[in-house]
Copies of this chain bind each other. A is one copy, B any other.
Amino acid sequence: MKAMVEEVPDVVVARLPLYLRALNFLTEEGISVISSGELADRLGLSAAQIRKDLSHFGDFGKQGSGYAVGYLRQQLREILNLQDAWDVALVGAGDLGHALVHYGGFIGHGFRIRLVFDNNPQKIGRELGGLTILSPALMKEEIRRLQMRLAIIAVPAAAAQRVTDELIEAGVEAILSYAPITLQVPPNIHMQYIDPVVYLQHMTFYLK
């Protein structure tokens, strides 16, 4: 049974996709039952952590018999609202945008890039991964028409806030931004950021 969203700490939610990813690999490997200890080893976490995290959502493992991989995987997909694939709008068709459109990891894991926008007149109208690159002038209209709630931003930092504001105005509720800047958004909008420099600097702290 799914707990109330309010009750689950965000750090726990952040780990659920990692559990699901590991269960996907186990399925590919033909493993149907796994102990919390084995799952913990694969994830570099403790078994106690995994049991505690999952206990927010129900009782998924019998003491001593481990987790049923298929069942837990199915439950996690439901908890993460992945029953149907989400349409995603991508803003920015530069090098990174190209890599994202061609990335094979979205399909099958709940996501499908459905719209691509770029403000470069030389790119507008061209095809990218089976999609036609659209002008940002069409962004609000198209996103509203398709009732899309998810977007990925792959534009330079200087353009990111304006794009964010327009996406939110169009109805987008969750944004993954690759722009290296913290964006200002209303409290009801979900944001995640990917900036390789931030991750590299996090590690150089530890390198004397």
- The chain A residues found within 8 Å of chain B, CB to CB, are 5, 13-14, 16-18, 20-22, 25, 42-44, 79-82, 86, 88, 94-96, 98-100, 102-103, 105-106, 109-111, 149-150, 152, 157, 173-174, 176, 180-182, 184, 190, 192, 194-208
Query: Are B111 and A200 in contact (CB-based, < 8 A)?
Result: yes
Query: Are A111 and B197 in contact (CB-based, < 8 A)?
Result: yes
Query: Are B17 and A202 in contact (CB-based, < 8 A)?
Result: yes
Of B79, B190, B198, which is within 8 A of A203 by CB? B190
Chosen A-B contacts, 19 in total, with CB atoms closer than 8 Å, are A14-B202, A18-B198, A21-B180, A21-B181, A22-B182, A42-B182, A42-B184, A79-B205, A81-B204, A82-B204, A95-B102, A96-B103, A109-B197, A110-B200, A110-B204, A111-B200, A150-B200, A176-B199, A192-B200
Copies of this polypeptide in the complex: 2
Query: Are A194 and B192 in contact (CB-based, < 8 A)?
Result: no
Instruction: List B contacts of A206 (CB < 8 A).
Output: 5, 13, 174, 190
Query: Are B105 and A180 in contact (CB-based, < 8 A)?
Result: yes
State the CA gap A95–B82 with chains docked (Å). 26
